[in-house]
Structure 1
Amino acid sequence: MEMFYYLLFGGLAVVVALLELSKTGKDRVATSSAFNSFKNNYLVVYSLMMAGDWLQGPYVYFLYSQYGFGKGDIGRLFIAGFGSSMVFGTIVGSLADKQGRKKACVTYCITYILSCITKHSPEYKVLMVGRILGGIATSLLFSAFESWLVAEHNKRGFEPQWLSLTFSKAIFLGNGLVAIVAGLFANLLADNLGFGPVAPFDAAACLLAIGMAVILSTWGENYGDPSESKDLLAQFKVAAMAIASDEKIALLGAIQSLFEGSMYTFVFLWTPALSPNEEDIPHGFIFATFMLSSMLGSSIASRLMARPILKVESYMQIVFTISAFTLLLPVITNFLVSPSTVKGGSISFGGCLQLFGFCTFEACVGIFWPSIMKMRSQYIPEEARSTIMNFFRIPLNIFVCIVLYNVNAFPMTVMFGMCSIFLFVAAFLQRRLMVVADSHRAKTQDWAQKERDVETEPLNDH
C-alpha cells in the first residue's frame, strides 16, 4: 500500500488527537456525576449497537456474491432492505411512541440478531427475509434510541445543553472509533483467522445480545403520549399534523432527507469514483480513513455546541455548503484533470484530490449527526418523536431505492452533481430554518414580556 494512504490516515489521527487533548474550559461543559453515569451507560449501549451494525457492512455484498448471486440479484436484496425501512419504519416508530421506547430498542436487537442468523443460508428467499428484518431494525436504530435518550434526559431533569455532549460523544465513538475497530475486527475474523464472511455477522449478533442485556437490566421505560390510547392511524395523524402545522419540523425533515440521501449515494459511488480504471485501492483502509474523518467532524461539533452563543442553525449552513463543494469535486476533476487510460495501477492524481474532498465530506457528516440530533430534540414534539423521525426517512428511502435501481443508468458525474445540488438546497433550507426559528423565538419572548407586564400592572397602580 502506498505511503500516501498512511500519511493521510496519520495526519487525520494527529489532528483528531490534538483536538481532543487541547480542549479547554470553554470547550467543556460542567456536568453532574449523575448525568455522567447516565451518559456513559447510554454510550456503552449505543457503541454496542453500532458495532453490531458496522461489523456487517464490509461483508454484506461479498457474502452474497460468495453464494453465487449476481449484481442484479444483490441489488434487489439491497432495495428490499431500504424498501422495508420505508414501509415498516413509520409503523415501528409509532409503536415505539405508543408501546415504549425501551421495548423498541430491545426489538431492534432481536430483529437484527435474526437478520444476522439468516446470513448462514444460501437460499435467496431466506436472505430476502433477512434484508427485510434488517430494514426494520435500521428504522428502529435511527429513531428509538434517540427518542429514548431525549425523553429520559428530560425526565431526569438534566440541563438541555448537556444533551449535546451525549450526541457528539455518541457519534465520535459509535460512528467513528467503533466503526474503525469493527472494520478491522471483521477483517481479522473473515480473512486473517479464516472463519469466512459469515463470521462478522455472528460477532455482530453476540454484541447485540450483550447490548440487549444491558438495556433490559439498566434502562427505564418511557413513552411518547401515554395519556391517550391512540391507535396507529391516530399516531400517524398526530405526526402528519405536527409536520404540516410547524414549518420548522417540515424544514428539518427536508434538510435531513436531502443530506442523508446524498450521503447514501456517496456510499455507493466513492469506490468507482476513486478507481474508474480499476486502480488498486485499499478499500478497507480508505473506509477506516473516512471513519477517522467522521471522528474529526464530531470532535469539531462538540466544541461548536459547547458554546451557547453559537447556534446550530447558523454553522450548519456552512457545513452544508462545504459538503456541496466536496461532492462537486468528481465533476470538476473530470474536466480539469486528464483521466488515466491505463488499467490497474495506483490511484491517479485526480483520485487523490477526490479522496481529500471525500474525507472533508465525511468530516461534515461527523458534524451533521450530533447537530441534527440537537435540532430534532428542540423542534420535534415528544408525543410523536419516533413517528415523526421515521416520517423523515420515507423520502430518504424512496430516493435511495431509485438510485440503487438506476445506479448504472447515469454517468457518475451526473450523480455527484445531483447530490451537490441537493446539498446546496439543504444549505438554503437551513438558512430558512434559522430565520423561522429566530422569528418564533422573538415572538415567544415578546409574549412572555407582555405576560410579565400584565402581572406587574396592578402592583404599579397600587
Structure 2
Amino acid sequence: MGVVIESEVWEPNQALYIFIFVSCFLSITCLPHFSMSSNKTPTLFDHSLSSPRFRRIFLLIYCLSSVMEGLWSVSGEYELAYYGVSKEQMVWYLCVGYATALILGSSLGLLSDLIGHKKACLIFCFLHLFVATWKRIFAHPTVWIASSCLSLASSIFSFSFETWMVAEHNKLGHRQDILNDMFWLMTFSESASSIISQVLANLLVGHNVVKHINAPANAALLLATVTIIFVTRGCKEVPQTASFQNYRISFYEYIFDKRIWLLAWAQTCVQFSISVFWMLWAPTIVADGREVHLGLIYPCFLGARMLGSTVFPWFFSGPLSIRTEDCLEYLFVITGFVLSIVAYDYQEIGVLVMLFCLFHACIGIMLPSLARLRTMYVPNELRGGMISLSLAPANAAILFFLMQRGYYFNIGNSTIMVFAALGLFSAAGCMHLLKRWGKQLRQNWHKL
C-alpha cells in the first residue's frame, strides 16, 4: 500500500481515552456482582476476608516501585539527549544494560530464593536510590554505571515482587482465587503507575529544562526512600529455611521438567516481544517523516494493557470459563499476527495505534495468566530463579539485535518484529503442548 505522509501533527481522538477509562471502570465494578452470583467462592472484592493488610501495603509498595521504574524509562532518553549523547552512544548504553541483565540479572533470581524476596526488593530500592543520589551529586554521571544499576533493578522487579507476594499469600493460607486477583491487580497497577510516572516527569521538568533536568532524579530519590520505609517497617517475610544444598537439589529436580521449559520459553517470547515493541513503536509510527504527538499515544497503550488486565478475572473468576492454556494459545496467535502485519507493511497511523493497543490489551491478559501457570507448575521456593533464568534468552536476543541493528546495520526494524512474531507463534505451540502434558496436574490442582 502507498505511504501517506500526514500534513498535520497526528494525535489520538479523545474518545479513545474515554472508551478505555469507561471500559476499565465497568469491567472492575461489574465483576464482583457476576462473579459472586455465579460462583460462591470468595474473591479479593469480598471485604469479609481476613488479613487484607499485607495486600494493601504490597500494592502500595508495588505502585511506588512501578513509578520509579517508569520515571527512568520516560525521562532517560530525553536526559541523555539533553547532555549531548549521540544515538550511537545510546545504543551502546542499552547494550551495556542488557549485557548486565544477561550476565548478572539471570542469577539474581537464584540469590533472591536463598536470601528472601523482601531483601531482594530492598536491593531493588537501593539500586534506584544509588542512581538517584549519584545524579544529584554529579550533574552528568557515568552513564554505563547508571545503565547497569537500572538494568539490575529491572531484573529484580520482574520476579521478586511477584514471588514475595505469592509466598506471603501461601503463609496466610488464602485461596487461589485471591492470588489470581492479585496477579491482575499487579498488572493493572503497574500500567497505571507507568502513566503516572509520565505525567509526573512532565510536570517536574516543565518548560524550564535547564533548571529542572534533574527533577525526576529527585522524585526517584524520594520514592526510593519512602518505599524502603514501607518494605522494612510495613511488611514481614516468610523466613528462608532451605539451605543451598537443598535448594540446588530441588532446582535440578525441577529444571528438567519439560512443562517448565515450555512455560519458560513462553515467558521469554513475551518479554522479548514487549522489549522489541518499546524500542520500535515510536520509529515505526513516525516513519517517513510523519509528525505525531508520541506523548499522547503512550498512555493509550498502557490504558489498553490496564483494560486487558481487567478482562483476566472474567475468564477465570467470573461468569466466563476458559482454560488458561487455551486463552494464552489464542492470545499468542493474535499478538503474533499483530506484529506480523506491522512488520509486513506500513499502515496509517490510526491503524498502527489500534493494532498496538490490541497488542497491549492481549499483554494485559497474558501477564497474569502466565503468573497463574507459574503457580501451578513452579514451586514457590524456586520461583524467582526460574523466572530470572527464563528472561536470559530474551536479554541475549535483544542484545544481539541491538548490536546488529545499532552498530552493523545488518537488519531492519521489520526483521526484528518478524522474529518477535515468530517467537509469539512458537509460544502458542508451547501452550498447546503444555495443555496436553499438564492435563493430569491440572486435574489434581482443581481438587485443592
TM-score by length of 2: 0.88
**1:257 aligns with one of 258, 268, 271:** 268
The structure-2 alpha-carbon separation of the partners of 1:381 and 1:302, relative to structure 1 and needing over 3 Å to count, comes to same
Identity, % of aligned positions: 23
Is the 8 Å Cα contact of residues 54 and 235 (structure 2) preserved in structure 1? no
**Which secondary structure does the structure 2 equivalent of 1:161 belong to?**
helix
Match of 1:84 in 2: 100
Match of 1:110 in 2: 126
Higher mean C-alpha deviation, range 190-199 or range 433-442 = 190-199
List runs of 5+ in structure 2 lacking aligned partners: 1-8, 37-41
Match of 2:343 in 1: 331
Give the counterpart letter for 2:278 in structure 1. V
Give runs of aligned pairs for residues 223-238 of structure 1, distance below 5 A: 223=239, 226-230=241-245, 235=247, 238=250
Match of 2:254 in 1: 242
Matched, 1:416 2:414: no
Match of 1:362 in 2: 360
The structure-2 alpha-carbon separation of the partners of 1:284 and 1:159, relative to structure 1 and needing over 3 Å to count, comes to same
Give runs of aligned pairs for residues 38-187 of structure 1, distance below 5 A: 38-120=54-136, 121=138, 126-175=142-191, 177-187=192-202
Q: How many residues align?
A: 424
Write the distance in 2 (CA, Å) between the matches of 1:402 and 1:279.
29
| Greater RCO structure (CA 8 Å; 6+ sep) | 2
Give runs of aligned pairs for residues 384-403 of structure 1, distance below 5 A: 384-403=382-401
**Which secondary structure does the structure 2 equivalent of 1:406 belong to?**
helix
Match of 1:374 in 2: 372
How far does residue 229 in structure 1 lie from its aligned partner after superposition?
4.3
Match of 1:351 in 2: 349
Match of 1:23 in 2: 31
The structure-2 alpha-carbon separation of the partners of 1:111 and 1:298, relative to structure 1 and needing over 3 Å to count, comes to same
The structure-2 alpha-carbon separation of the partners of 1:196 and 1:295, relative to structure 1 and needing over 3 Å to count, comes to same
Matched, 1:279 2:279: no
Is the 8 Å Cα contact of residues 143 and 386 (structure 1) preserved in structure 2? yes
* TM-superposition CA deviations, 1:219-259 (whole Å, max 9, x none): 112255x23244xxx85664354221x11111110000011
Give the counterpart letter for 1:106 in structure 2. L
Write the distance in 1 (CA, Å) between the matches of 2:78 and 2:12.
27
Higher mean C-alpha deviation, range 14-23 or range 259-268 = 14-23
Match of 1:190 in 2: 205
**Which secondary structure does the structure 2 equivalent of 1:356 belong to?**
helix
Is the 8 Å Cα contact of residues 10 and 293 (structure 2) preserved in structure 1? no
How far does residue 414 in structure 1 lie from its aligned partner after superposition?
1.9
Write the distance in 1 (CA, Å) between the matches of 2:336 and 2:367.
17
Write the distance in 1 (CA, Å) between the matches of 2:348 and 2:345.
6
**Which secondary structure does the structure 2 equivalent of 1:34 belong to?**
coil
**Which secondary structure does the structure 1 equivalent of 2:322 belong to?**
coil
The structure-2 alpha-carbon separation of the partners of 1:17 and 1:160, relative to structure 1 and needing over 3 Å to count, comes to closer
Give the counterpart letter for 1:405 in structure 2. M
How far does residue 333 in structure 1 lie from its aligned partner after superposition?
3.7
TM-score by length of 1: 0.86
Match of 1:453 in 2: none
How far does residue 181 in structure 1 lie from its aligned partner after superposition?
1.6
**1:293 aligns with one of 286, 300, 304:** 304
* TM-superposition CA deviations, 1:247-288 (whole Å, max 9, x none): 111111000001110111111111111111222111111111
Write the distance in 1 (CA, Å) between the matches of 2:50 and 2:293.
44
Higher gyration radius (CA): 1
**Which secondary structure does the structure 2 equivalent of 1:69 belong to?**
coil
Match of 1:458 in 2: none
Is the 8 Å Cα contact of residues 320 and 424 (structure 1) preserved in structure 2? yes
Is the 8 Å Cα contact of residues 180 and 288 (structure 1) preserved in structure 2? yes
The structure-2 alpha-carbon separation of the partners of 1:395 and 1:332, relative to structure 1 and needing over 3 Å to count, comes to closer
Match of 1:14 in 2: 22
Match of 2:39 in 1: none
How far does residue 324 in structure 1 lie from its aligned partner after superposition?
0.9
**1:316 aligns with one of 314, 325, 328:** 328
**Which secondary structure does the structure 2 equivalent of 1:165 belong to?**
helix
Higher mean C-alpha deviation, range 8-17 or range 262-271 = 8-17
Match of 2:439 in 1: 438
Is the 8 Å Cα contact of residues 236 and 387 (structure 1) preserved in structure 2? no
How far does residue 122 in structure 1 lie from its aligned partner after superposition?
5.6
Aligned-residue CA RMSD (Å): 2.3
Write the distance in 1 (CA, Å) between the matches of 2:404 and 2:253.
34
Higher mean C-alpha deviation, range 430-439 or range 89-98 = 89-98
Write the distance in 1 (CA, Å) between the matches of 2:139 and 2:215.
15
The structure-2 alpha-carbon separation of the partners of 1:122 and 1:267, relative to structure 1 and needing over 3 Å to count, comes to same
Give the counterpart letter for 2:364 in structure 1. G
Write the distance in 2 (CA, Å) between the matches of 1:223 and 1:381.
16
Higher mean C-alpha deviation, range 20-29 or range 396-405 = 20-29
Is the 8 Å Cα contact of residues 132 and 218 (structure 2) preserved in structure 1? yes
